[in-house]
Structure formats: C-alpha cells, structure tokens
C-alpha cells in the first residue's frame, strides 16, 4: 500500500478531487498555503493499493497541468516620490508536487 501526498493549486483541487472520486479513490483534502506566489494550495492524501498507484498518478498528471500566468510585482527601481512602479512578469503556475510513501500498516476504524 502507498500514501500519495499531492500538493496542488486551489484552482485545480476541485477538479482533481472529482476525477479521483469518479475512479473510486478515497481522498482527504487539507487546505494549505505557501509557495512562490503565496497563493492557496490544497494538499490531498490518498491511500492506494500498489496496483492502483499509477492510475492515481495519471489522473493527477492529467488534471494538474502547468500553465503560464501574468503576475504584477513592484519594480526594484524606485519611481518618483519613492513609489514602486509595478511591472508584469510571466510565471509558471499549476502542476503538482507529489510524494509517494510506503505504508507499513493501514487501519480504518
């Protein structure tokens, strides 16, 4: 048995949970924050039998794709009157960070 810990962008979380549940995976959803843009993240926990590991990972790959997004950051160069000038930057968002751990014991009580 394996434990999948998948950290995904909030934007992808609902679709991912739906897809996993449609394929009869049990999912526990935890709210989390952090990362480069300090945007909302969701951490999903899945306990899967060894033979269902690859199908679960394929669903995560299918739903959580990386994409480009424009973010506005303050310019490091000071403008007039000591104010920062905002400038757009293209960043990559989405995707998933996935950890797969061996489970020694599992009990559903």
Q: Which among 36, 37, 32, 24 is positioned nearest to 6, based on CA atoms?
A: 32
Position 2 scores a pLDDT of 97
Say if strands 66-78 and 96-102 run parallel, antiparallel, or are unpaired.
unpaired
Q: 2-65+94-102: which CATH architecture?
A: 2-Layer Sandwich (3.30)
Instruction: For the chain, give every domain's residue range.
Output: 2-65+94-102
Tens digit of each residue's pLDDT, the chain (109 residues): 999 999 998 889 999 999 999 999 999 999 777 665 556 789 999 999 999 999 999 999 999 987 777 777 666 655 555 666 677 777 766 789 999 999 999 888 8
Q: For position 73, what pLDDT does the model report? A: 67
pTM (predicted TM-score): 0.76
- HEC states along the chain? CEEEEEEEEHHHHHHHHHHHHHCCCCCEEEEEECCCCCCEEEEEEEEECHHHHHHHHHHHHHHCCEEEEEEEEEEEEECHHHCEEEEEEEEEEECEEEEEEECCCCCCC
């Amino acid at each position: 048995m394996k434990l999948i810990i998948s950290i995904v962008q909030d934007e992808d979380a609902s679709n991912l949970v739906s897809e996993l549940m449609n394929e009869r995976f049990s999912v526990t959803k935890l709210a989390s924050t952090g990362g480069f843009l300090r945007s909302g993240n969701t951490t999903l926990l899945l306990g899967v039998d060894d033979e269902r590991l690859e199908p679960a990972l394929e669903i995560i790959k299918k739903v959580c794709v990386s994409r480009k997004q424009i973010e506005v950051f303050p310019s490091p160069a000071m403008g007039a009157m000591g104010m920062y000038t905002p400038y757009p930057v293209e960043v990559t968002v989405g995707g998933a960070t996935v950890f797969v751990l061996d489970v020694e014991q599992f009990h559903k009580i």
